[in-house]
Amino acid sequence: MRPRLIPRGLRWYSVDSATNQAHAISTKQQLYTTDPITPGSVFFLPHGTRIFNKLVQFMKHQQTRYGFHEVITPLIYKTKLYQQSGHWENYRDDMFKVVGHDSSKDDGLHEYGLKPMNCPGHCMIFDKFERSYNDLPVRFSDFSSLHRNEASGALSGLTRVRRFHQDDGHIFCDMPQIESEIENTLKLIKDTYKVFGIDQIEYFLSTRPEKYIGDVATWDDAERQLAAVLDKQGQWQERPGDGAFYGPKIDVLLADAFGKKHQVGTIQLDFQLPQRFNLKYVGEDGNHNHQPILIHRAVFGSLERFFAILLDHYQGKWPFWLNPRQAVILPVNESHIEAAEKLQQRLSGDIVSNEADLAPMTGHHFYVDVDKRSDTIGSRIKEAVQKGYSYILLIGDKDIANGTVAIRSRDSRKVENKSADEVYAMFQQLESNYQ
């Protein structure tokens, strides 16, 4: 399908316009904070960390399903690594530099760079061992923190930061595997966004910029392959000259519940880094000089920025599986506090309530609080709704006698009576179905 051209640099929507609202929700729910002492870096508070970790856990499970192997790579490298990768020439003004000791130099010092991306480190890992065509594709994932020296005037909440995390993935493959790897990545992107109620997705192919590395023929071949995959997805558009300096890319835009569009996911085809790092594998013909192709891909992109999008998307009404406040138990009066605390332990899941000395490696963990203040039930229910708890549970004399609990949702006043086991089973099902 012939793409419709759009001007270079055009963006449908900037999440910066939602920063103030997101910050207000975050302050109310105590999710994150910032401080001038470390501009562009976020302090995730306990409740915000719960959401952040759920997003990471979700993506780690998806990565495993798609054959990725997680690695942990260094935070700093000597600048010669970035000189080899080409980032130093093209990106050094956006990098943080640090000085470290080096006994091999006369002055005992050496300049290092805080990593702004993971790909050079993943190339090093690939190159540490002999690889065969039978090993391909080799897929690495990495959730390490990254640092980019954004201009101080451009910093904004979670959407424009200096320290961030990506659901970073790199695929080393050969030419015939490109199409299936990109198709799998696009499927993962679509399935992931659907979990968050997002099914309006647009695709953009960013082509060779004015400043690039490599030869034109290689760029043209890469762009043709990406266009062929996009043709299978249906409609797509082209962003002429908007590719990265090392290869063309597919950008994915999503529309949230309010119809606002955000650029999040990306797939980057790269013939340049394998060449610069002289990466090789043994082919089926026994030749040791076959060079892999590198695919960079991210689904969430920056986790901080995706967090901000979800803040705007849900307006603080998190779905149960993602909610840092999943349920609150309200004892009617002091005589019901002990029963409420026992119910809390039961509903919190087997990671917390397991009677063994050590928590199990796998299991359920739900965030359940007890509000045992002496305020009226009506007042406590109102505050629980304002705080965004998914479910509110009431326990009194009748509930204790019947072995049940009265439960209502955040968005409905309808009250049901369920046993603790029934509530726990409901929580498990909600989490399993990403509801």
By annotation, the residues acting in catalysis are 119, 148, 166, 168, 170, 249, 296
The span from the CA of 281 to the CA of 399, in Å, is 67
Residue 148 CA, distance from chain mean position = 17
Phi and psi at residue 113, to the nearest 5°:
-125, 135
Radius of gyration of the chain (CA): 25
Within 8 A by CB and 6+ apart from 355, the residues are: none
- Unique residue bearing structure tokens 């060449």: 275
CA distance 126 to 356: 41
Q: CA 291, 295, 299: angle at the middle one, nearest 5?
A: 165
Query: What 3-state DSSP class applies to 243?
Result: coil
CB atoms within 10 A of CB 164: 21
Around 340, how many Cα atoms within 13 Å sit in the side-chain half-sphere? 25
Query: Which residue type is seen at 87?
Result: H
Separation between Cα atoms, residue 25 and residue 313, nearest integer Å: 12
For residue 376, give every residue at least 6 positions away whose Cβ sits within 8 Å of its Cβ, in sequence order, or none: none
